[in-house]
């Protein structure tokens, strides 16, 4: 299973490196959100710290959906997904490779966009910065694991671009609240993010397990 996971991940990274479909569209989208919000508001440094958690995560969530929608599209072209399905390779290896690939794409987006958010909103964390990295990692996984799963569910629907956010956003609300609260807590230094980080951790474990259990059924649904 590990070998198939690695091979699928390497293949997806190579395909993305050659096409840059997902990363480019995510970057442009997140950049637009950051710029438009910075023109719409003119907050003080303290106000920025209070709203930045929400702004950043909403921008990343919307941008991630753009990439998540493309996750399976490539597999449907030329019926490539059927070649995987007739092979003895584990469906969960495919799912995890896709989820890890999406995690890396969204993480790259976050690395590139965070300095811009810092500049546009004059951000400076009062709480421990290392916890931001933890929140980002757990939060990103929460978005991509569900996103990858629901994108697979919606690939055979006619309006999958609309369907994915319709299913993904409601189910991501607990994770999104935890991400925003934890980020705001770290930026303002006013509350401990420990509870929200633990909540994210539990959310990740529960939804990763559920996705792994159900993915084979989703993959084989015709």
Partner 1 sequence: MYGVQGDNGAGKSTLLRVIAGLIEPTAGSVQVFGRKPRDAKRSLGYMAHASMLYDELDAVENLLYFGGLYGVGRERCEEAIRAVGLDPALRRRVGQYSQGMRQRLSLARAVIHNPALLLLDEPFSNVDAHSAREMVALLARMRDEGRTVFIVTHQPALLEGVADEFVSMESGMIVARWPARGAAATIESARVERTQEARR
The answer to whether 121 and 47 are in contact (CB under 8 A) is no
Q: Which listed residue (19, 24, 157, 217) binds partner 1 by CB under 8 A?
A: 19
3-class SS of residue 122: coil
SS (H, E, C) 2-46: HHHHHHHHHHHHHHHHHHCHHHHHHHHHHHHHHHHHHHHCCCCHH
Q: Under rule CB under 8 A, which residues in 148-207 are in contact with partner 1?
A: none
* Nearest distance, CB of residue 153 and partner 1, angstroms: 18
Site for partner 1 in 78-97 (CB under 8 A): 78-80, 82-89
Contact flag: residue 18 with partner 1 (CB under 8 A) = yes
- Chain residues 48-77 in contact with partner 1, contact rule CB under 8 A: 74, 77
**Strand locations in 102-211, DSSP E?**
none
Q: How far is the CB of 152 from partner 1 (least distance, A)?
A: 16
Residue 192 CA to residue 141 CA, distance in Å, equals 21
Minimum distance from residue 78 beta carbon to partner 1 (Å): 5
| Interface size with partner 1, residues (CB under 8 A) | 23
The 8-class DSSP code of residue 85 comes to H
CA pair distance 130, 83, nearest whole angstrom: 43
Kindly state the tokens that stand for 6.
């690695």
Question: Cα(181)–Cα(191) distance, rounded to whole angstroms?
Answer: 9
CB nearer to partner 1: pick between 45 and 80: 80
Work out how close the CB of 1 gets to partner 1 at its nearest, in angstroms, rounded to a whole number: 11
By beta-carbon proximity to partner 1, the closer residue of 2 and 173 is 2
Between 44 and 78, whose beta carbon lies closer to partner 1? 78
Site for partner 1, rule CB under 8 A: 3-4, 7-8, 11, 14-15, 18-19, 74, 77-80, 82-89, 222
């Amino acid at each position: 299973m590990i070998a198939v996971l690695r091979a699928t991940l390497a293949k997806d990274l190579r395909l993305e490196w050659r096409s840059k479909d997902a990363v480019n569209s995510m970057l442009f989208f997140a950049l637009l959100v950051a710029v438009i919000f910075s023109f719409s508001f003119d907050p003080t440094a303290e106000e920025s710290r209070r709203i930045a958690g929400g702004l950043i995560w909403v921008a990343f969530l919307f941008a991630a959906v753009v990439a998540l929608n493309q996750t399976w599209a490539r597999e449907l072209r030329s019926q490539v997904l059927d070649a995987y399905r007739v092979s003895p390779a584990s469906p969960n290896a495919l799912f995890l490779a896709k989820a890890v690939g999406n995690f890396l794409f969204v993480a790259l987006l976050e690395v590139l966009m965070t300095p811009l958010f810092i500049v546009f909103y004059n951000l400076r964390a009062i709480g421990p910065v290392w916890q931001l990295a933890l929140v980002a990692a757990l939060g990103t996984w929460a978005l991509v694991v569900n996103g990858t799963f629901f994108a697979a569910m919606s690939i055979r629907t006619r309006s999958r671009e609309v369907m994915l956010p319709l299913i993904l956003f409601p189910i991501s609300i607990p994770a999104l609240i935890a991400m925003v609260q934890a980020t705001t807590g770290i930026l303002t230094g006013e509350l401990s993010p420990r509870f929200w980080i633990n909540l994210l951790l539990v959310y990740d474990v529960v939804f990763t397990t559920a996705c792994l259990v159900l993915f084979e059924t989703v993959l084989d649904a015709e």
